[in-house]
Structure 1
């Protein structure tokens, strides 16, 4: 059972960690490349701010973004801003998201995200947690996948494994950290491949953040996953 109030608290904690880390940067470092191809650190921060507003739209029954083009244009517009502007925007948009999440609502209702994707409203706080946590790593400022809370890592592996479940281009795969196991890829009576490794490495592979060099694949090659 998803506990949206718990996840909102986790979003708050993750956001505070991000803001504390970003406050140690300077304007020049924001213009440097992030770990995301084609994006500076400023792009990542601009995206996080605009994503918070977009998820407020989702919770309040509006389209997440006016269009894909408008989303991209807003990120490009906001990416070059100085550090103080980025921090102020992140704080203000985070507060708006928390307020929307704390408003009385039917958390069992279905909401619409990008590209026609639908989900339970109760999952929106966790989606925001994923944005803040993974993009903190993407900044490349010393916060790594290993630093993410264990609860988040396990739940995000579960989410991503389910996302690729049934995908015709991904072989039936068992994913395990030695204690827990997940299934993903094509449906089959038995997995074609087993992928084993540390939780952070499994998350990195599933989330497209690591190539999987630290993982062990048995029964076949490490599957190539489609982009998220």
Structure 2
């Protein structure tokens, strides 16, 4: 069962860690490349802020983004801003998201995200937590996949395994971190077993690592579709 109250507390902690880390940068660092191809750190921070506002739209029954083009243009517009503007935008947009979660509402209701994806309102909080944690790593400022909270890592592996479950282009796959196991890919007996640390598994599933450090038995490492 999803506990959105617990997730809101975890999200708040993750957001504060991000803001503390970002405050140690300077304007030159914001303009430097992030770990995401074609994006500066400013792009990442702009996306984090605009994603918060987009999820407010979701909670309030509006389209997440006016269009894919509008989403991209907003990020490009905001990416070049100096550090103080970026930081304040991340902080203020996070506060707007928090305010939206405090409005009365049915947390079990189904809401629509991008590209026709639907989910429960309660799990939107976890999705936002994902945005904060992974994009903190993407900034390349000392926060690594190994630094992610253990609870988050385990849940994100399960979340992404579920996302690829039944996908026709992913062979039946068993995932294990040595103590826990997940299944993903097409239905059927697992053809491939992929074993590694939680950080390496979540990195591969989330497209942040190539999977070269994972152990693969029964075939080759499946190629995952983009998120």
1:214 CA drift (Å): 1.0
Query: Residues of 1 paired with 2:132 and 2:112: CA distance?
Result: 20
Counterpart residue number, 2:212: 213
Alignment of structure 1 residues 170-209 onto 2, 5 Å: 170-188=170-188, 190-209=189-208
Query: Residues of 1 paired with 2:103 and 2:7: CA distance?
Result: 15
Query: Residues of 2 paired with 1:13 and 1:169: CA distance?
Result: 37
CA deviation map 1:188-214 (0-9, x unaligned):
0x2000000000000000000000111
1:72 matched to 2:72: yes
TM-score by length of 2: 0.99
1:48 CA drift (Å): 0.2
1:104 CA drift (Å): 1.6
Counterpart residue number, 2:86: 86
1:168 CA drift (Å): 1.0
Corresponding residue SS for 1:111: strand
Counterpart residue number, 1:136: 136
Query: Residues of 1 paired with 2:28 and 2:7: CA distance?
Result: 33
- List runs of 5+ in structure 2 lacking aligned partners: none
1:169 CA drift (Å): 1.0
Matched residue count = 227
Query: Residues of 2 paired with 1:91 and 1:175: CA distance?
Result: 36
Counterpart residue number, 1:109: 109
TM-score by length of 1: 0.99
Alignment of structure 1 residues 31-50 onto 2, 5 Å: 31-50=31-50
1:97 CA drift (Å): 0.5
Q: Which runs of 4+ in 1 moved over 3 A?
A: none
Query: Residues of 1 paired with 2:34 and 2:75: CA distance?
Result: 14
Corresponding residue SS for 2:111: strand
- List runs of 5+ in structure 1 lacking aligned partners: none
